[in-house]
Amino acid sequence: MTTTVGESFVTKIRQLDKKGSGQAVVWHENEQGNQKKLRLTVPQTLPGEKVRVSVDKPERRRRKAIVEEIIEAHPERIGPACPHFDLCGGCVWQHWQYNGQLQEKTRFVKETIVAQGFDPNLVQDTIGMENPWHYRNKMEFTFAPDGALGLHEQGNFRKIISLETCLIAGQKMVEATMEVARWAKDHDLSGYNKDAHEGLLRHLMVRESFATGEIMLALFATEAPEENLKEVATDLVKRIESKFPEVKSLLWLENRDWADRTQAEKTHILLGRDFIYDELSGFRYRLWFDTFFQTNPTQAQKLVDLAIEMGQPTEQEKMIDLFCGVGTFSLPFAERVKELSGIEIVETSIESAKRNANDNGITNTHFLAKDARHGIDEVLQSFGRPELLLLDPPRSGAGGKVMRKIGRAQPERIVYVSCNPETFATDITQLVPFGYTLQKVQPVDLFPHTVHVECVALLIKNDTIE
């Protein structure tokens, strides 16, 4: 463990915070000789562990501590598999046996619904992965000002950790990423300096379809690949074309905006097309660089299967898919219901949903580009009351106004797919006054070695319960 200058304490880890770090409390004497309580955040520790920590500037009541020694280790503590774990912010729990991670996620989901007055026994054990490595089909890497390519340091978005590997990304993605890193280094290309707002290379987004094998490399830069950069871009194409035939989309995206986001003002296709094909639930989807699609295809399939199992769609029923995106849930449900209407505020996603439905021969769908609150009103007016409603909102949740709209629409069954158990638990309280009962909550681990957990839940209108 790393030792740092500061006051040293021996303490016990009480619990984990929402970011996966240990929480501890110690008492220390201030300059006036008074005993003061100091609350510590201790990364890479586990509940119940006894540790010696170092704290810089302990006069502040809340401090981040550095572990000097694990005195009494948790029985499920293991050595992290990745050489970058101590610094990289991509994972927080590689030091914890996978089964322990799953149990913690189940505990967290139960805690969140209990806080809103629901029965914890409705929460099932979290469904994990048989192999919780190399599961991500999309990664966003960042260039440091010196041109090195990597991920942000834990808790420090100003520092980039140069990577030799990444154990949560698809293996081919990692290999292609390392080739781009070598290309940038060989040409001595600068990375973007966020403070000075200067430099060439900003981000590299990598997507891989585990179903089709196709890969997309999207390079974000502050200049176009022309004039003095033409030869540099040509060399990148040659390297990728010769070593990675799986790359069906190599993009150079101009981004001169000060905001540190993977956005583009202009797209240059260096190789192939501007999208790749992916598949889920037997349906084919087109993915562009800015398309939202589940990043763990193995577990995403389980989400879809669970949603169908809970929703029990029938061919006589109408259904609304709220926050439908590009149709990840819409298409599998559409082939099981009479009619489906999808609502999504992002217009490009709606265009993709329409195209995906057409590509897959689905003809009973209607997609509307509108915010959820107003979109429900419009769909209900033209579509009528649905028997089934599915929603898959962003991390911020659907919100009270949308949930009350759903309650007033009175669908017989509601399937809620959530990427944030806290906003999910708050949202569903809004349905209780409208006569809905929570039947089941199934957590699914889409992001092993991180704190994140998804849930699929079923709520049923009381007068339909047998």
Task: Tell me what the pLDDT averaged over the chain comes to.
Answer: 93
pLDDT at residue 321, rounded to an integer: 98
The strands making up 318-322's β-sheet, listed across from edge to edge, are 365-369, 339-344, 318-322, 388-391, 413-418, 454-461, 436-444
Q: Is it the case that residue 4 has pLDDT exceeding 60?
A: no
pLDDT at residue 236, rounded to an integer: 98
Residue 375: pLDDT band with limits 50, 70, 90: very high
Does residue 179 lie within any of the structural domains?
A: yes
Asked if 419 and 395 count as a contact pair (C-beta separation under 8 A), the reply is yes
**Distance from C-alpha of 151 to C-alpha of 167, rounded to nearest angstrom:** 13
Residue 457's beta-bridge partner residues?
A: 416, 441
**Distance from C-alpha of 302 to C-alpha of 304, rounded to nearest angstrom:** 5
Calculate ∠ Cα 404-410-414, nearest 5°.
85
Does residue 86 lie within any of the structural domains?
A: no
Does residue 377 lie within any of the structural domains?
A: yes
Q: What is the CATH number of the domain that holds 34?
A: 2.40.50.140
Q: Are 332 and 270 contained in the same domain? A: no
User: Which residue in 82, 91, 166, 419 is the catalytic one?
Assistant: 419
Does residue 98 lie within any of the structural domains?
A: no
Write down the residue that tokens 């609350």 correspond to: 39
Q: Give pLDDT tens digits for 123-150.
A: 999 999 999 999 999 999 999 999 999 9
Q: Are 326 and 375 contained in the same domain? A: yes
Strands 365-369 and 339-344: parallel
Does residue 87 lie within any of the structural domains?
A: no
pLDDT at residue 144, rounded to an integer: 93
Q: Give pLDDT tens digits for 58-97.
A: 666 778 899 999 999 999 999 999 999 988 888 999 999 9
Q: Are 157 and 270 contained in the same domain? A: yes
Q: Are 459 and 316 contained in the same domain? A: yes
Of 49, 75, 101, the position where a domain reaches its end is 75
Q: Are 394 and 272 contained in the same domain? A: no
Q: Are 163 and 251 contained in the same domain? A: yes
Q: Give pLDDT tens digits for 253-311.
A: 999 886 666 777 899 999 999 999 999 999 999 999 999 899 999 999 999 999 999 99
- Quick one: three-class SS letters along the chain? CCCCCCEEEEEECCEECCCCCEEEEEEEECCCCCEEEEEEEECCCCCCCEEEEEECCCCCCEEECEEEEEEECCCCECCCCCCCCCCECCCCCCCECHHHHHHHHHHHHHHHHHCCCCCHHHECCCECCCCCCCCECEEEEEECCCCCEEEEECCEEEEEEECCCCCCECHHHHHHHHHHHHHHHHCCCCECECCCCECCEEEEEEEECCCCCCEEEEEEECCCCCHHHHHHHHHHHHHHHHHCCCEEEEEEEECCCCCCCCCCCEEEEEEECCCEEEEECCEEEEECCCCCCCCCHHHHHHHHHHHHHHHCCCCCCEEEEECCCCCCCHHHHHCCCCEEEEEECCHHHHHHHHHHHHHCCCCCEEEEECCHHHHHHHHHHHHCCCCEEEECCCCCCCCHHHHHHHHHHCCCEEEEEECCHHHHHHHHHCCHHHCEEEEEEEEECCCCCCCCCEEEEEEEEHHHCC
Total domain count, the chain: 3
Q: Are 323 and 436 contained in the same domain? A: yes
User: Residues 353, 357, 358, 363: what is their CA dihedral angle, to the nearest 10 degrees?
Assistant: -130
pLDDT at residue 258, rounded to an integer: 66
What's the chain's length in residues? 466
* Dihedral angle sign, alpha carbons of residues 405, 374, 344, 320: positive
Of 358, 355, 357, 349, nearest in space to 332 by CA = 357
Q: Which domain holds residue 318?
A: 111-128+295-464
* Structure-token pair, residue 147: 């041109």
Respond yes or no: is residue 88 known to be catalytic.
Answer: no
Of 247, 280, 313, the position where a domain reaches its end is 280
- For the stretch 379-418, what's the b/e string if a residue is b when 16 or more beta carbons lie within 10 angstroms of its beta carbon? bbeebeebbbbbbbbeeebbbeebbbbbbebebbbbbbbb
Q: Are 146 and 166 contained in the same domain? A: yes
Asked if 251 and 180 count as a contact pair (C-beta separation under 8 A), the reply is no
Helix 400-409, helix 421-429: angle, nearest 10: 50
pLDDT at residue 352, rounded to an integer: 95
Q: Are 120 and 147 contained in the same domain? A: no
Write down the residue that tokens 């992916």 correspond to: 278
pLDDT at residue 38, rounded to an integer: 87
Write down the residue that tokens 């110690």 correspond to: 26
**Distance from C-alpha of 343 to C-alpha of 332, rounded to nearest angstrom:** 16
Residue 235: pLDDT band with limits 50, 70, 90: very high
| Main-chain phi, psi angles of 19, to 5 degrees | -95, 0
pLDDT at residue 37, rounded to an integer: 86
Does residue 460 lie within any of the structural domains?
A: yes
* 123, 173, 260, 317, 459 from 436: Cα distances, Å: 17, 44, 42, 19, 6
Average pLDDT (187-208) is: 93
pLDDT at residue 77, rounded to an integer: 97
Q: What is the CATH number of the domain that holds 243?
A: 2.40.50.1070
Q: What is the CATH number of the domain that holds 331?
A: 3.40.50.150
Q: Are 267 and 299 contained in the same domain? A: no
* Structure-token pair, residue 296: 């763990």
Q: Are 325 and 245 contained in the same domain? A: no
Of 254, 280, 306, the position where a domain reaches its end is 280
Does residue 168 lie within any of the structural domains?
A: yes
Average pLDDT (212-230) is: 95
Q: Are 120 and 40 contained in the same domain? A: no
Does residue 196 lie within any of the structural domains?
A: yes
Q: Give pLDDT tens digits for 352-373.
A: 999 999 999 999 999 999 999 9
Among the ranges given (8-17, 29-38, 149-158, 390-399), the one the predictor scored with the smallest mean pLDDT: 29-38
